[in-house]
Amino acid sequence: MRIMELKGKSGNSKILIGEPIAHLASLCTSEKNVIVTDRNVRKFHGDKFPDFPVLEVGLGEGNKTLPAVQLLYEKFLEMELERGSMVIGIGGGIVCDLAGFAASTYLRGMRLGLVPTTLIAQADAAIGGKNGVNLGGYKNLVGAIRQPEFVLCDFSLLSTLPEREVRCGFAEVIKHAAIADASLFSYLEENLHEAMGLKRSAMEKVIHDSILVKSSIVAKDEYEKGERRKLNFGHTIGHAVEKCCGIPHGEAIAIGMAAEARLSVSRKFLSGKDAERLARLLANVGLPANVKAEPAKLIDAIRKDKKRESEGVKMALLEGIGKCSVQDVPLGEIEAVLNDAH
């Protein structure tokens, strides 16, 4: 087990990598603790939960909404939770977002702990303090930034994941490697079979290094004024794909990374050879690189992206494997790249 600490302005977060969920109760020191989870996680892992009250949220991205948060508020009110009470989100990115946003805003903030149960959540979504909900189908337009007291990453919880969920999780791992860790990228190229098989030694390497990239960036720029925007590589176009095509987040981000790598090449920041390495790794994981969607519809979704500024977007563009920079990109330039792939 490895312990990392992310120190942010909104609080410090202890990240326990490889810690068994059996130790969760010892981290929950409030007089009143409540677990937020979903039906599937409770079905597979409920027998491992501490003896705390459990609230279930709905399954799927369509449930990551303000009405879902309001239902949690109403339950918190019934339970007479106080500012010192602790909310523990046990689940994937959707559960972590809902639990985190509810805990961050009810009574202007309660204590929060997270137990991510998917690869995408352990390697990315549960780390960094961002939480939020969708509005009108657009990703994470309403949210807050507040570090959880702890994030417990138990690798054994990943064993019940469907293969497609595992592939989607690797999209965010590849993103972290592509923007800031060339050695992790090479490790994935050379050890993909072990990693995708969720071998413990591989998971310790992959999740630790992925979290290290994200936590290092967040510690420098918690509120996304500059450096943290690097973590959006693949997400400007990816979120638009997710909105327009209704495919899982990880698959949409893979498509976004491939497209934004082509944009990096067109600006002569990235070599064609490195763009091919990225495309090859995504393909070897089983992630898509293109999607059948009208470029005009994707641009319309990007116009409503929270990262848009005037007629452009702050985008992370690759300058090599393991290196990127944030650039102002006009919407017309994004549309040209999308048209080329269409």
3-state SS class at 12:
strand
- Is 214 assigned a catalytic role? yes
Q: Show the beta-strand stretches assigned E in 63-137.
A: 86-91, 111-116, 130-135
Collapsing DSSP to helix, strand or coil, 312 comes out as strand
Which CB contacts under 8 angstroms, 24+ apart, belong to 26-30? 27/113, 27/149, 27/150, 27/152, 28/52, 28/86, 28/88, 28/113, 29/86, 30/84, 30/85, 30/86, 30/111
Query: Of the listed 32, 45, 139, 214, which one is catalytic?
Result: 214
Residue of 19, 149, 172, 260 with catalytic role? 172
Active site residue 280: no
The values of phi and psi at residue 21, to 5°, are: -65, -20
For residue 24, give both structure tokens.
């969760």
* Catalytic option among 139, 175, 176, 239: 239
In the chain, what is the straight-line distance between the N-terminal and C-terminal CA atoms, in Å?
46
Give the ranges where 267-329 is alpha helix by DSSP (H).
272-285, 295-303
260 catalytic? Reply is no
Catalytic residue among 45, 64, 111, 130: 130
Beta bridge partners of 324: 318
Catalytic entry in 19, 149, 222, 224: 224
How far is the C-alpha of 337 from the C-alpha of 181, rounded, in Å? 26
176 given a catalytic annotation: no
Active-site residue, 172 included? yes
Candidates 228, 230, 243, 262; catalytic one: 228
Catalytic residue among 131, 134, 140, 232: 232
63 a catalytic residue: no
Q: Any catalytic annotation for residue 48?
A: no
Catalytic status, residue 319: no
Active-site residue, from 111, 230, 249, 262: 249
Active-site annotation holds for 232: yes
Q: Of 64, 111, 167, 235, which one is the catalytic site residue?
A: 235
Among 31, 80, 108, 309, the one annotated catalytic: 108
Catalytic residue check, 239? yes
Catalytically active residues are 108, 130, 172, 214, 224, 228, 232, 235, 239, 249
